[in-house]
Every structure is written in C-alpha cells, then in structure tokens.
Chain A
Amino acid sequence: MHSPFCRRRCSYCDFAIAILRSSSDVDRFLDGISLELEHFGDSLRPRTLYVGGGTPSRLAPADLREFFARLDRTIDRRSVLEFTVEANPEDVTPDRAVVLREAGVTRVSLGVQSLDPETLRQLGRRHTPEQVRHAVTLLRDAGIRSINVDLIFAVPGQTPSILDADLTKFIELPTHHVSAYNLTYEDRTPLRSLELLGRLTRQEPDSELVAFRLVHERLAEAGFAAYEISNYAKPGHQSLHNLTYWNNEEYLGVGPSAVSCVGHVRWRNEPDLDVWFSTLRQGLRPVADAESLAPDRFIGESFALALRTSRGVLLSRLERRARMPIDRERLDRIVRLMELRLLEREGPRIRLTPRGRELADCVAAELI
C-alpha cells in the first residue's frame, strides 16, 4: 500500500509523493483505498502487508486508525504473517505507537538514513539522532516485534571514518534489521541538480566500494546477516514481504503509483493522487501502464532479482514457474560467470559470490 504523503521532498527522493496540504487530500486517499480494495472483492488473504510511501506516518493518529479500519473491511488478517509500516523517526509519537500496535503491525521500518547530523543535513532529513533513539524505544515499548532502520552511505564528503562512526551508532540501536543503501543520484532530484550545478561531487566508484565493504563487514560482525545486497537482518527478522519482490512472486499494490504483479502481468497505478482518485470514482481501475512477462523475459528478470538474495536462484524451481527450460546460452553464461568467480554453486542453488555482489548489475546484464 502506497501512502503518498510527505512533509517535504528529501534531496535524493524520486518517488511519487504528495505534499500533505489539507484534510480533504487524506479523505480522498482513504476513500480511494476503499474503492480500490473493493475491486478485489472481500476475501483477500495476503501473507504479508506493507504500508509504504511517501510517509504513512504523516497521517494523523485518527486518520491512521481509519486507514487500518478500512483495510480490515476487505482483507482477511488471519493469514498475515508480517505487517510492516514505514515511518519517519520524528513522526513516532506515543499516540501513533499505540495505533500501530492496536492495528497488529509487527514491523516498523524507520527512515533513519544516518545518525550523523552533517550527513542528515546533506540528505535533507529533518530529524535528529536523539529522535531516532526515542522512536526506537517507543516502538519497542509498544511491542513492535521487528524494527528496521534505513541507512544511506557514500554521501558526498562522507569519509570512511565518518561512515564507520555512523555504523557504530546504528549497531548500538536495539533494532533487528538494517537496509543499507548506496546513495543514488536519480534524475529530477534535488541531489542530481546540485551535482549538475557542480555544488557537490559524488564519490568515486572506488570509494563507494570501500564504503560498501565497510558496511558489510561492520554489520556482519554485529550479527546482521546480508540476505540481500542492501538488506541485513538478525536471525528471524528478514522481511518476508520484500523477499516476494526478489523471488518475483505475486503481490497486489494499492494507492497512487503502487505496482502489482499477478500471473506474470505487472501493472502500475496512476502516480498522481487526483488522477488515481478520479479514475476510481468513475468505477475504473487506476492503471497507468501494464506489461505481460513472456517466459524468457520472466526468466531473465527472475535471475536479476533472485541473485540479489543470499539464497540465489533454484534453477529447477525457476524452470517450473516459467514453464520452460533455461536456454543453453544462459547456462553457458552461468558457467562462464562461475569461472570468473562471480557466481557460485550452493547445493542446488546458484548465487553471487562476495565479489559478484559488488558487480551484481554486470552479472544480471549477462543473464537478463
């Protein structure tokens, strides 16, 4: 579920967001979610729920409660194993913590990004390290089972020692999961504009590699295992929801710009809140674009996704799901990538080696 509202846009963000201006925006969002869910009938039985955005935590406690209530009208919650909500640290108040707990949220993902004030400023984030610690305490006290913190590294000016100190602070937080992202410079973001204007210099690939390795090493030492290229978890705290993406399995997305994938068809909702809502009001599906994945494309894409995970690809399972054998050319390439020690065999599975993880996109381009 995509809740689009943000207070402001962060410097690196290119998501479909809406700046929250009036309560009528929220009403339309809530009404739209109800309309969209009605399309799927009243018996959805998902394994996982994920409310992301945008910033779901920008909703007032009452609106948040109303949002969860509307989900309950069409979703059978008994099947849900994991229920994640994204939140900004500064939004986590005692009120909201209570709402989350009462709604049955099991996992909260906090947009921390850094615990270094200078790095936070660079990224255009408003919160303080103190607010982060406070949020984590509140969530734990509220009984949230699993807490994730997002981390961004390779920020301009961030030396290895600054990053190292930042990592120490992350590890000291009593959390269960870290999503550690190399900073990216997406088109049409404030960050990219600053780069184009020459006001900041992105880190060299070599320094980014040093940072990537440092993150991996420090988190591993602290008991966070890398189960995906950018995701680290303590045992039992992997995100089941996100694993469905990497395993190229089925999911339904609701809300503006949300993406769904069912039966090898993928579609994306209208990103604009008003367009999304008015389409739903007309009784139509708010689909902006859709594509059907032919078996060969499905196979290529599945390699690109599943190789991101530490479990890698089970060839026999992939063949069964694609309903076709993996072609000779791809098998030859796999052998070649194994010779280059970028891929390795782990039982019946194929997965990236540590060096392969650093070049995951090159490997994926070979097999796509």
Chain B
Amino acid sequence: MTSARIRNFCIIAHIDHGKSTLADRFLEITGTVRKEALEAQTLDSMELEKERGITIKAKAVMMKYKADDGQVYTLNLIDTPGHVDFSYEVSKALQACEGALLLVDAAQGIEAQTVANYHLAERAKLRIIPVINKIDLPTARPELIEEEFENILMLERERVLRASAKTGIGVKDILETVVRDVPPPTGDPNAAMRALVFDSVFDDYRGVIVHVRVFDGSFGRGDKIRMKGVGSTHEVLEVGTFVPGSMIPRERLRVGETGYMIANIKTLSDVRIGDTVCLEKEASTVVALPGYKAPQHMVFCGIYPTQNKDFDQLRRALEKLSLNDASFSYTPESSDALGFGFRCGFLGLLHMEIVQERLERESNVDIVQTAPNVTYEVVTTSGDVMRIESPAQLPDASQIEEFREPVTKLDIIAPAEFVGGLLGLAIERRGRFLHQEYISETRVMLSFEMPLAEIIFDFYDKLKSLTRGYGTMDYEVIGFRPAHLVRLRILVSGSEVDALSTIVHRDVAEQRGRKMLVKLREEIPRHMFEVALQAAIGGKIIARESIRAMSKNVTAKCYGGDITRKRKLLEKQKEGKKRMKMVGNVEIPQKAFLSVLGITRDAEK
C-alpha cells in the first residue's frame, strides 16, 4: 500500500453536534465494526466522557473504505478533544491530519468553540469539509447555517454538505468527499524516520501507549528510538494500528500512517504530546517536527482532603490520575487553614473540573477544592521574571517592578437580543471590546480581550444565565499584560490569615474583600470578645466588619444534681473548639474557610 491511498482526517464539532454518532456511522459503512457490536459511542471510552458528552483524550481509528472509484482507501479518523482547554492537544491532533470535517448542528448553528477549532485547523493548513448534521430534525435550518458558514468562516455555500449521522443520510457523500478532497500524506519514505506524538494513554499492563503519525521513513519492532524533546531512549516492543476496542500489531508503521507504539515506557510524564520520535542512531541529525511545547498550566487550585488522615489516600489517587493525564500537575503544599494538601495545575477551567470529578469518583476521598487562581508573572526590581502560582509565592510589594496577568481573546456567540447584557458583563469583568459580527440575522459573535482571572471566576455560569443557556464561549490565552494587581490580605483580630489571601485587581479589591468578610462574619461564631475582620492591601485597610461579642452564656442553676450534666456539656463545647483553627485568639471553624475559599460547582456544566 502506498501513502497515496491514505487519508488522515478528524472531526471538529461542538459538544452534542453529533461527532460520535457520525464516527459510528463511518465504522459501520466501512465494515470496521458491525452495527450491533457498536457501543453507543465507540470513541468515547471513558465513563465520564460519555456522561459529559465530550471527548477528553484523542484516539485514532483505522478504517478500510472501498470508494466509488473502485479503489480501497485507508481512512485514519483521529478524534480530537472538543474544548479549548486542550487547544494544544487539539493542535497536535490536527497536525497529524491533512483534512478536517467541520460538523455543525442544523438546529443549533455555529458555536464559539467551533470557530476556535476551525481557526486552529486553518492554521494547520488542513483541507476543511463543512458538514451540516441532523438535517432530519424538524427544527433544522440548513440554509441559515450555510449563511453562518459564509459569514463567519468565509466558506462557500456550495461546498457545504448536508447529512444526518443518525439516519445515515449523506454520510457516504462525506466519505467520498474525504477521499476526493483531502490530500494524501506527503513525506519521504526513504528519509530519516520522524513521527509526531499526538496523544498517549496509560495501560495497566503495557505501560504507555503512544499515538504517533509517521511523517518520514518507517519504523517497527526492535528499533531503538529517541524522544527528541524529552531526550529519553526506548526500544520499540510493538507498533500497530487501532480498530475500535482493540489494537492490531503490524511489522512496521510507514510514512503517512497513524498508529501506536509500545516501548516499555512506564509513566506518561516521559511522553510529551507534540514530541518527535526518531531513530536513536539518527537522532543528532534529524530536525524535530515544529510546534512542540511543554504543557502550560494556566489555572491552579488547592485540593485538600476534608479529613487530614486521608492525605496519603489523596496522594495515591492523584498519582493514579496523573498516569492517565500528563497535562495536570500536583505538588504538596500546606495551608494554615486546611492542613496538608496539594496545589494542582490545569490547562484550564474545564480540565480542572474533569480532574476533580474523576478524583471524587475514583478515589473515595472527600476533598475540598479552593477557588482557582491563574498563573501570574512578576518582574522584580532586579529584573527577574517570576511565575506566581499561589499568593504565598509573591515577593514583597517593594520588590515588584511589574505585575502581569494572563489575558485571553474571548469569543462569545449568542442570540443578538443579549448583546447589551453581555457587554455589561464583559465590562464588569475588565473586558476590552474588540469587535462584533453578525453571523446570521439573529446571532452575533462578540470578541473581547479579557483577563483569564475574570473568566475562571464563575464567568461561564453568568454567561449561561444571562443568555438563558444559548450563549457559548471560547477563549485562548494570548499573553501576559501588566495590570494593577494587588495582594488582598484578610485579617482576623489583627492577625493575617495566610490561607485567605488572594491576588486581585485593585479596582475590585474592595468589593471582593467585603464579600469575603461578610461570608466570614456569617461563619465565625460569636466569641467572648468582639472580633474585628479586615481586608487590607499592604498596611491599608480597605474593608472591615465585626462580629459582636456573645451577649450572655451562663448556666442559671448549678447545684449537686446539675454538676455532672453541666460538666459534660462544657466538655462537649471544649471538644468542638479543638476542631477549629486558632488565628490569634479567634477560633475559626473549617466551614468558614470553605465558604470563603471553596467554589460551588454547577452540576449542568
């Protein structure tokens, strides 16, 4: 087989626009899997992915397709994660392809994430095939969607295919278009071997299974290979290709092909997505494939066991999780308020939520998650650039020359009637309006520059409620910008509570500080004395609250018959105090920290 009859392609689609159903139809038509053997959605193997209707990890499936021209083609369908938190992984999956199906729901229309992924595909120079799915729906409006394709993506109406993955209408046309329009892979079969790592999964029995796309040459069992970026060397034990549910070993993987490699690699952290695999003996001369980056953690939060004794169990759970997800990091930290736990780094907000849910589901440990913060940059007076992942790492204010925060380009697509509300929300969140574009008569795409910190703080919930669920958003970190950021300190009876300090923009510091104090006032019980609560920037108090002293607490009658009962009550009262955290003279219940630091998650997200 020559690479002329190979087609590597992927499907770009918003959640629920029918990507998995379409993939199932492809498997059925090509005879890769019999219909009755199909799991509902073969490509989404993790339980969690099924429930959330999104695909977290990319997979690749090989299909044989006899086209109308009588030739048999090898179609490699590479599955991509649907969310922008994984945009680096998406871009690497795209890099492994020559074509992309841009799938849009005939009733829903183009969503913000579709636009973002379309631009990624365009940047990767893929041949894009627009498809309107679900045309069998009574609410389908394919003409309107074609207009959106034209207006927002500059794709000609005539090229747009219509299909229903559910009924099978138009699906064969899609495969024919793939064969006809998507270019075969290029590459030199005789050149030094180069393969792109576009994904990896961990298998309990076989170690890391590396997903690769061969760009030049070929390799197979017994070859000594080198990971260009990481620098590690391994001996290849097996190569092969995927079919749903199993792996088919092959002698060699050749130029243009996608498949897997097993090389006795023990942990996922030894494999970096985007890395280049080459032969050990040619390693010094081979030029790496472009675009390799180490994972960037933009969002951090603390994860603590609610019971201190569960710390080890939590550590084991995180270890296990990181075997399957190399893009999340965890390091032990301790907090005055919450005890021992971990500071965890994520690609983005959705990634954080996925990790937290998996932890809860798979580990049996009750965890507390602190409100997330973003990564900051500080330029010190001596000219060093520090990355700040936790307020505790901040140098003294006098040593800060410049304070920078990550800024995103944020795209929102929503019905036009909500534009006013959205502009208000964006301004409130320090957004800078860039432009607005009507993608159809009734729907608008708004673009902003907005600090990431403002997005991770319940922005998505606000957007959803403001647009009655119709708004979608997508963001991409475009860089760090100087901003007037400050460390907001919380003082209880004059003593600083480290665990409660946060980094906020100066303009919202007072408001944020007051909110925290109000919550604290509700949760800290009245004491024998008045408790002062203060929010401060440096030495300057910007908000204050106080908890009045308890008015009266005294047993009226205490004679012989009352003594034992009274002592037991007092002992119980004393026991209760032991579970509180002492800050100076003040006892703060764990619940108070949770209500200030914790976030409440929205189940429908």
Complex interface residues of chain A between 233 and 253 (CB less than 8 A to chain B): 242, 245-246, 251, 253
Tell me, in angstroms, the Cα distance from A246 to B557 when the chains sit together.
11
| Cβ-based interface call for A268 (8 A) | yes
CB distance B567 to A366 under 8 Å?
A: no
Tell me, in angstroms, the Cα distance from A46 to B571 when the chains sit together.
32
| Cβ-based interface call for A342 (8 A) | yes
* Contacts known (A245-B560, A365-B574); A304 close to B553, Cβ less than 8 A: no
CB distance B551 to A362 under 8 Å?
A: no
Tell me, in angstroms, the Cα distance from A251 to B557 when the chains sit together.
18
Tell me, in angstroms, the Cα distance from A305 to B565 when the chains sit together.
12
Interface of B is mostly: loop
Tell me, in angstroms, the Cα distance from A206 to B585 when the chains sit together.
23
Complex interface residues of chain A between 320 and 368 (CB less than 8 A to chain B): 336, 340, 342, 357-366, 368
Interface mask (A260-282 → B, CB under 8 Å = 1, otherwise 0):
11000010100000000000000
| Cβ-based interface call for A41 (8 A) | no
CB distance A212 to B552 under 8 Å?
A: yes
| Cβ-based interface call for B37 (8 A) | no
B interface residues, how many (CB within 8 angstroms): 24
CB distance A291 to B564 under 8 Å?
A: yes
| Cβ-based interface call for B566 (8 A) | yes
| Cβ-based interface call for A308 (8 A) | yes
CB distance A361 to B554 under 8 Å?
A: yes
Complex interface residues of chain B between 546 and 571 (CB less than 8 A to chain A): 550-561, 563-564, 566-567, 570-571
**Which chain B positions have C-beta within 8 A of A181?**
556-557
Considering the complex, give the chain A residue whose CB is closest to the CB of B567: A301
**Which chain B positions have C-beta within 8 A of A336?**
585
CB distance A359 to B571 under 8 Å?
A: no
Nearest Cβ on chain A to B25's Cβ, whole angstroms: 64
CB distance A361 to B570 under 8 Å?
A: yes
CB distance A206 to B551 under 8 Å?
A: yes
| Cβ-based interface call for B320 (8 A) | no
| Cβ-based interface call for A209 (8 A) | yes
| Cβ-based interface call for A300 (8 A) | yes
CB distance A360 to B585 under 8 Å?
A: no
Contact of B570 among A212, A242, A251, A364 (CB under 8 A): A364
**Which chain A positions have C-beta within 8 A of B442?**
none
Complex interface residues of chain B between 514 and 569 (CB less than 8 A to chain A): 528-529, 550-561, 563-564, 566-567
| Cβ-based interface call for A283 (8 A) | no
**Which chain A positions have C-beta within 8 A of B566?**
304
Nearest Cβ on chain B to A44's Cβ, whole angstroms: 17
Tell me, in angstroms, the Cα distance from A297 to B570 when the chains sit together.
12
Nearest Cβ on chain A to B550's Cβ, whole angstroms: 6
**Which chain B positions have C-beta within 8 A of A66?**
none
Nearest Cβ on chain A to B526's Cβ, whole angstroms: 9
| Cβ-based interface call for A25 (8 A) | no
Tell me, in angstroms, the Cα distance from A255 to B307 when the chains sit together.
48
CB distance B560 to A362 under 8 Å?
A: no
CB distance A230 to B557 under 8 Å?
A: yes
| Cβ-based interface call for B285 (8 A) | no
**Which chain A positions have C-beta within 8 A of B246?**
none
| Cβ-based interface call for B573 (8 A) | yes
Considering the complex, give the chain B residue whose CB is closest to the CB of A261: B560
Considering the complex, give the chain A residue whose CB is closest to the CB of B558: A308
**Which chain B positions have C-beta within 8 A of A251?**
560
* Contacts known (A300-B567, A340-B528, A342-B528); A361 close to B553, Cβ less than 8 A: yes
Contact of A304 among B528, B557, B567 (CB under 8 A): B567
* Contacts known (A266-B563, A336-B585); A304 close to B554, Cβ less than 8 A: no
| Cβ-based interface call for B468 (8 A) | no
**Which chain B positions have C-beta within 8 A of A360?**
553-555
Tell me, in angstroms, the Cα distance from A242 to B563 when the chains sit together.
12
| Cβ-based interface call for A229 (8 A) | yes
| Cβ-based interface call for A259 (8 A) | yes
CB distance B528 to A245 under 8 Å?
A: no
Contact of A363 among B528, B557, B577 (CB under 8 A): B528
Tell me, in angstroms, the Cα distance from A301 to B571 when the chains sit together.
10
| Cβ-based interface call for A257 (8 A) | yes
Nearest Cβ on chain A to B148's Cβ, whole angstroms: 61
**Which chain B positions have C-beta within 8 A of A15?**
561
Nearest Cβ on chain B to A35's Cβ, whole angstroms: 21
* Contacts known (A184-B556, A308-B558, A336-B585); A205 close to B551, Cβ less than 8 A: yes
Interface mask (A209-244 → B, CB under 8 Å = 1, otherwise 0):
100100000000000000001100000000000100
| Cβ-based interface call for A164 (8 A) | no
Nearest Cβ on chain A to B421's Cβ, whole angstroms: 43
Tell me, in angstroms, the Cα distance from A92 to B234 when the chains sit together.
103
**Which chain B positions have C-beta within 8 A of A116?**
none
Considering the complex, give the chain B residue whose CB is closest to the CB of A301: B567
Tell me, in angstroms, the Cα distance from A300 to B560 when the chains sit together.
16
CB distance A242 to B551 under 8 Å?
A: no
| Cβ-based interface call for A208 (8 A) | yes
Nearest Cβ on chain B to A239's Cβ, whole angstroms: 10
Tell me, in angstroms, the Cα distance from A266 to B577 when the chains sit together.
27
Complex interface residues of chain A between 1 and 40 (CB less than 8 A to chain B): 15
Tell me, in angstroms, the Cα distance from A242 to B564 when the chains sit together.
16
CB distance A266 to B564 under 8 Å?
A: yes
Nearest Cβ on chain A to B572's Cβ, whole angstroms: 9
Contact of B528 among A253, A268, A300, A362 (CB under 8 A): A362
Please indicate which of the listed interface residues A181, A246, A301 has the most CB atoms of chain B within 10 Å of its own CB. A301
**Which chain A positions have C-beta within 8 A of B557?**
181, 184, 230
**Which chain A positions have C-beta within 8 A of B554?**
182, 212, 229, 357-361
**Which chain A positions have C-beta within 8 A of B550?**
205, 359, 362
Tell me, in angstroms, the Cα distance from A3 to B367 when the chains sit together.
57
Nearest Cβ on chain B to A145's Cβ, whole angstroms: 21
CB distance A242 to B556 under 8 Å?
A: no
Considering the complex, give the chain B residue whose CB is closest to the CB of A183: B556
Considering the complex, give the chain B residue whose CB is closest to the CB of A184: B556
Nearest Cβ on chain A to B548's Cβ, whole angstroms: 9
Considering the complex, give the chain A residue whose CB is closest to the CB of B560: A259
Considering the complex, give the chain B residue whose CB is closest to the CB of A352: B554
CB distance B529 to A340 under 8 Å?
A: yes
Nearest Cβ on chain A to B292's Cβ, whole angstroms: 59
Tell me, in angstroms, the Cα distance from A209 to B561 when the chains sit together.
26
**Which chain A positions have C-beta within 8 A of B553?**
358-362
Tell me, in angstroms, the Cα distance from A257 to B564 when the chains sit together.
13
CB distance B564 to A245 under 8 Å?
A: no
CB distance A365 to B570 under 8 Å?
A: yes
CB distance A305 to B558 under 8 Å?
A: yes
Tell me, in angstroms, the Cα distance from A230 to B558 when the chains sit together.
9
Interface mask (A94-106 → B, CB under 8 Å = 1, otherwise 0):
0000000000000
Tell me, in angstroms, the Cα distance from A342 to B585 when the chains sit together.
14
Contact of A365 among B561, B563, B573 (CB under 8 A): B573
Considering the complex, give the chain B residue whose CB is closest to the CB of A242: B559
Tell me, in angstroms, the Cα distance from A364 to B566 when the chains sit together.
10
* Contacts known (A304-B570, A359-B528); A246 close to B561, Cβ less than 8 A: no
Tell me, in angstroms, the Cα distance from A261 to B400 when the chains sit together.
68
**Which chain A positions have C-beta within 8 A of B577?**
365
CB distance B558 to A358 under 8 Å?
A: no
**Which chain A positions have C-beta within 8 A of B529?**
340
Nearest Cβ on chain A to B128's Cβ, whole angstroms: 69
Considering the complex, give the chain B residue whose CB is closest to the CB of A2: B561
**Which chain B positions have C-beta within 8 A of A357?**
554
Nearest Cβ on chain B to A42's Cβ, whole angstroms: 24
Tell me, in angstroms, the Cα distance from A212 to B555 when the chains sit together.
12
29 contacts between A and B (CB under 8 A): A181-B557, A182-B552, A184-B556, A205-B552, A208-B551, A212-B552, A229-B554, A253-B560, A266-B563, A268-B561, A300-B571, A304-B566, A340-B529, A342-B528, A358-B553, A358-B554, A359-B528, A359-B550, A360-B554, A360-B555, A361-B554, A361-B570, A362-B550, A364-B570, A365-B570, A365-B574, A366-B574, A368-B570, A368-B574
10 A-B pairs with least C-beta separation: A181-B556, A360-B554, A365-B573, A209-B552, A368-B570, A205-B551, A209-B551, A182-B556, A259-B560, A361-B553
Given A308-B558, A363-B528, 4 additional A-B pairs, CB 8 A: A184-B556, A212-B552, A368-B571, A368-B574
